[in-house]
């Protein structure tokens, strides 16, 4: 009862306090975004873009399926090694510990391939559903202060169709991994992107958001 | 290593039992080379497959079984002293020898030209590593696969070698005394030249080895056979070193090393239509850095042994039908003849089957390249009947080499007959015995001998007609 009375008595005060809290937190958040954007503005520079087509998606599904065969085959070969070292024992044989370590690595790789192929298939479905669906692979040069002048490649997937923004975000991780699987000498892995983000003190998702905003608002519109 | 040294010692002792043991020594050196190289290097394919060392440790014992049974085979021949048969000795005339040589060289040229659609440009393009359109490059392995699977590919080497043998015998025995002889010899040489040229331009080491060996053994023939001369020279006699033999041995070692170097350089430089000759020394240093022998010859042949041992335990699809010993007799049949008779595709030989299985297992069945390995006879023996198979193969190889040596030592130019020419043609394959497989060797002997029967048959018919006419007169 006393509490209700206090609230009634100081209602106006509480109301003002409530509004101030909201406004200040919003201001703080936007200020933080501004600081982050400033950091990124200085450290990230647009490099290239590529419009991903339905045909590309189909082609990559096939390519990944081919690679998947090799990963599966590596698992089979390593399992055969386990059999062979028992049948033909020798001190100089590769150790079962090393074979099992490789097997674990290949099994993770296999899982990664499956996830990427699934992501590509979902993307293909979106292409089938929406004729005007556009998605870009954008490349930015990332400058990490700690690493001196060395430049790192940042990859993002951006769509100007905001309707599919959520779906693209969900598929992003596995779709970006596709490029790493296709050419690991050029494209960074998902783990690399997380590490780059850590190095500049920003989360990976925040950089993606910034990159896509910058790309769609500035680069894409200017074309 | 101990087993290998034991083999070498036994081999030296056995060679002393034979009057002249050049053929046996060549075969034995071939065996020693592959045996010595076996534990030194493993075939690692695209970082996807490597040989388990335990397999190699077992493989060494298989080499020992093969080596011992091989020596046993040769030893048996030295004790058996089989009777030498004289077969179609009427071949021993200048006209007949020239006829056989010119006839075979002509057939060889036709087969060679037919293989390349009578189109010299197509041949040059394929040889230089270009496809039929002349645009895209094809690797040597792909080129060979293309040729071996081509419907019009004919085996021209089986005509070339006997033609050269008979020509050389004729020249050595009768000399080039008049214009007709010189002219005929020149024509035969010209007819054979495109095939010889193809061996050189393709860097076909196996064919070149066969050619050189046949030429060497034919040119060393004299009117008296080795057996008749019965002159035995040993390096150590009465605890003294025979200087003449020593110098001769040094010469032989020098020649062998030089030949080995030439063959290695051919192997390193022939790829991509000889366009990569500048990379010979780079390739050589790369092989050295990776602790590999300068030629992949030994590791690819020895891989077939490793594969044969592991084959039963590998989770891959095995070739159901291949030319194992039960079907071997039909191996020399041409593909289309086999298909007509048996109403099925001619199965691959064991070497090709291993290549196919290994390719599917490591690179995948969708890759359209052919993997070829020279087949180790030990791998072949293992696939046929395991340990017994290796023993039988070694024994057969030993008996065959012993017989060849025995017959060669009894060849005299004075009494040369058809069987002697068969023996000389067969000698070409002796240095290659450790990489050919029984099917390949059998095919070579059968085919070279069979093609010689055609001109011999023609000569027989003509001679009969002639003798009939004489009787009538």
Q: Tens digit of pLDDT for each residue in B193-223?
A: 999 988 888 888 999 999 999 999 999 999 9
Q: Are A216 and A158 in contact (CB under 8 A)?
A: yes
Q: Does the residue A138 lie in any domain?
A: yes
- Please say if the pLDDT value at position B63 is more than 70: yes
Distances (CA, A) of B336 to B331, B347, B370, B454: 12, 12, 21, 21
Dihedral through CA B62, CA B64, CA B67, CA B72, nearest 10?
-110
Distance in angstroms (rounded) separating the CA atoms of residues B297 and B386: 24
Q: Are B271 and B140 in contact (CB under 8 A)?
A: yes
Query: What is the total count of domains within chain A?
Result: 1
Distance in angstroms (rounded) separating the CA atoms of residues B148 and A30: 73
Q: Is A7 helix (H, G, I), strand (E, B) or coil?
A: helix
Distances (CA, A) of B412 to A190, B227, B293, B334, B356: 79, 9, 41, 35, 45
From A136-145, B301-310, B365-374, the region with the lowest mean pLDDT: B365-374
- Please say if the pLDDT value at position B342 is more than 80: yes
Structure tokens at A86: 């028992």
Distance in angstroms (rounded) separating the CA atoms of residues B102 and A148: 78
Q: Are A173 and A205 in contact (CB under 8 A)?
A: no
First to last CA, chain B: 73
β partners of residue A143: A151
pTM to 2 decimals?
Answer: 0.82
Q: Does A79 touch chain B (CB under 8 A)?
A: yes
Distance in angstroms (rounded) separating the CA atoms of residues B127 and B122: 8
Spatial CB neighbours of B110, under 8 Å, sequence gap ≥ 6:
none
Cross-chain residue pair B54–A93, CB shorter than 8 Å:
yes
Chain B residues close to A77, C-beta within 8 Å: 48-49, 361-362
User: What value, to the nearest 5°, has the Cα angle with vertex A171 and ends A168 and A172?
Assistant: 80
Query: What is the total count of domains within chain B?
Result: 1
ipTM beyond 0.85?
no
Cα torsion angle, B21, B22, B23, B29, sign: positive
The domain in which residue B388 lies consists of 2-472
Nearest chain B alpha carbon to A91? B54
Place of tokens 């035995």: B232
- Taking the CA of residue A208 and the nearest CA in chain B, the distance in Å comes to 36
Helix axes B157-174, B179-202, angle to 10 degrees: 140
Q: What is the pLDDT of residue B380?
A: 94
Q: Are A118 and A106 in contact (CB under 8 A)?
A: no
| Residue of A58 and B368 predicted with greater confidence | A58
Q: Does B361 touch chain A (CB under 8 A)?
A: yes
| Residue of B274 and A17 predicted with greater confidence | B274
Distance in angstroms (rounded) separating the CA atoms of residues A134 and A127: 8
The domain in which residue A161 lies consists of 45-222
Quick one: which H or E segment has residue A151?
strand A151-158
Q: Does B310 touch chain A (CB under 8 A)?
A: yes
User: Among B375, B349, B390, which residue's Cα sits nearest to residue B436?
Assistant: B375
Residues 64-83 of B with CB under 8 A from A: none
Q: Compute the average pLDDT of residues A136-141.
A: 93
* CA-only gyration radius of chain A, Å: 25
Nearest chain A alpha carbon to B367? A66
Closest partner CB to A84 (pick from B55, B57, B316): B55
Closest partner CB to B52 (pick from A74, A79, A88): A88
Q: Does the residue A36 lie in any domain?
A: no
Q: What is the pLDDT of residue B436?
A: 86
Cross-chain residue pair A77–B362, CB shorter than 8 Å:
yes
Q: What is the pLDDT of residue B210?
A: 94
Q: Does A80 touch chain B (CB under 8 A)?
A: yes
Nearest chain A alpha carbon to B307? A84
- Please say if the pLDDT value at position B60 is more than 60: yes
Q: What is the pLDDT of residue B292?
A: 82
Q: Does the residue A15 lie in any domain?
A: no
Chain B residues close to A89, C-beta within 8 Å: 54
Cross-chain residue pair B48–A70, CB shorter than 8 Å:
yes
Categorize the per-residue pLDDT at A222 as very low, low, confident or very high, splitting at 50, 70 and 90: low
Q: What is the pLDDT of residue B134?
A: 57
Q: Does A15 touch chain B (CB under 8 A)?
A: no
Cross-chain residue pair A88–B315, CB shorter than 8 Å:
no
- Taking the CA of residue A84 and the nearest CA in chain B, the distance in Å comes to 7
Categorize the per-residue pLDDT at B283 as very low, low, confident or very high, splitting at 50, 70 and 90: confident
Q: Does the residue A176 lie in any domain?
A: yes
């Amino acid at each position: 009862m006393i509490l209700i009375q206090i609230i009634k008595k100081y209602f106006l005060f509480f109301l003002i306090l409530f509004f101030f809290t909201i406004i200040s937190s919003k201001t703080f958040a936007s200020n933080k975004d501004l600081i982050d954007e400033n950091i990124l503005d200085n450290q990230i520079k647009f490099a290239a873009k590529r419009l991903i087509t339905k045909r590309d998606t189909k082609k990559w599904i096939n390519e990944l399926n081919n690679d998947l065969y090799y990963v599966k085959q590596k698992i089979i070969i390593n399992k055969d090694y386990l059999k062979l070292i028992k049948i033909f024992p020798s001190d100089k044989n590769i150790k079962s510990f090393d074979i099992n370590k490789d097997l674990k690595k290949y099994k993770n790789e296999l899982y990664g391939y499956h996830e990427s192929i699934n992501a590509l298939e979902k993307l293909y479905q979106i292409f089938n559903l929406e004729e005007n669906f556009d998605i870009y692979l954008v490349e930015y040069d990332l400058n990490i202060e700690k690493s001196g002048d060395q430049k790192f490649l940042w990859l993002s997937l951006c769509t100007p169709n905001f309707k599919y923004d959520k779906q693209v975000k969900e598929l992003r991780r596995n779709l970006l991994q596709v490029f790493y699987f296709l050419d690991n000498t050029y494209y960074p892995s998902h783990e690399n992107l997380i590490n780059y983000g850590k190095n500049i003190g920003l989360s990976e998702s925040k950089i993606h958001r910034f990159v896509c905003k910058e790309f769609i608002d500035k680069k894409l519109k200017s074309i | 290593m101990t087993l290998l040294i034991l083999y070498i010692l036994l081999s030296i002792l056995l060679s002393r039992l034979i009057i002249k043991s050049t053929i046996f020594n060549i075969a034995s050196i071939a065996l020693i080379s592959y045996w010595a190289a076996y534990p030194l290097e493993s075939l690692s394919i695209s970082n996807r497959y490597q040989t388990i060392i335990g397999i190699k440790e077992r493989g060494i014992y298989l080499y020992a079984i093969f080596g011992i049974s091989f020596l046993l085979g040769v030893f048996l021949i030295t004790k058996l002293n089989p009777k030498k048969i004289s077969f179609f000795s009427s071949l021993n005339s200048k006209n007949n020898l020239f006829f056989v040589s010119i006839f075979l060289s002509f057939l060889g040229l036709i087969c060679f030209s037919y293989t390349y659609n009578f189109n010299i440009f197509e041949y040059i393009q394929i040889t230089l590593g270009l496809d039929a359109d002349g645009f895209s490059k094809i690797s040597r392995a792909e080129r060979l696969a293309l040729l071996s699977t081509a419907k019009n590919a004919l085996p021209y080497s089986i005509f070339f070698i006997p033609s050269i043998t008979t020509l050389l015998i004729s020249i050595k025995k009768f000399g080039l005394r008049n214009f007709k002889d010189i002219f005929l010899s020149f024509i035969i040489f010209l007819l054979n030249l495109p095939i010889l040229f193809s061996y050189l331009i393709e860097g076909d080491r196996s064919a070149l080895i066969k050619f050189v060996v046949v030429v060497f053994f034919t040119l060393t023939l004299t009117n008296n056979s080795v057996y008749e001369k019965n002159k035995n020279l040993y390096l150590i006699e009465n605890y003294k070193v025979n200087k003449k033999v020593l110098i001769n041995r040094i010469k032989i070692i020098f020649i062998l090393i030089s030949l080995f170097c030439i063959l290695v350089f051919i192997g390193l430089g022939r790829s991509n239509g000889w366009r990569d000759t500048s990379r010979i020394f780079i390739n050589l240093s790369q092989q050295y850095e990776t602790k590999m022998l300068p030629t992949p010859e030994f590791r690819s042949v020895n891989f077939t042994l490793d594969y044969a041992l592991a084959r039963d335990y590998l989770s891959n699809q095995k070739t159901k039908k291949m030319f194992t010993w039960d079907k071997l007799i039909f191996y020399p049949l041409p593909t289309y003849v086999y298909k007509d008779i048996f109403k099925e595709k001619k199965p691959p030989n064991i070497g090709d089957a291993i290549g196919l299985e290994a390719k599917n297992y490591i690179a995948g069945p969708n890759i359209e390249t052919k993997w070829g390995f020279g087949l180790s006879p030990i791998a072949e023996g293992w696939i046929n009947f395991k340990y017994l198979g290796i023993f039988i193969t070694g024994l057969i190889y030993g008996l065959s080499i012993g017989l060849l040596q025995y017959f060669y030592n009894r060849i005299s130019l004075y009494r040369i007959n058809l069987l002697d020419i068969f023996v000389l043609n067969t000698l070409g394959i002796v240095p290659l015995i450790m990489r050919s497989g029984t099917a390949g060797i059998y095919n070579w002997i059968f085919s070279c001998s069979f093609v010689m029967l055609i001109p011999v048959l023609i000569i027989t018919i003509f001679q009969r007609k002639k003798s009939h006419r004489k009787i009538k007169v």
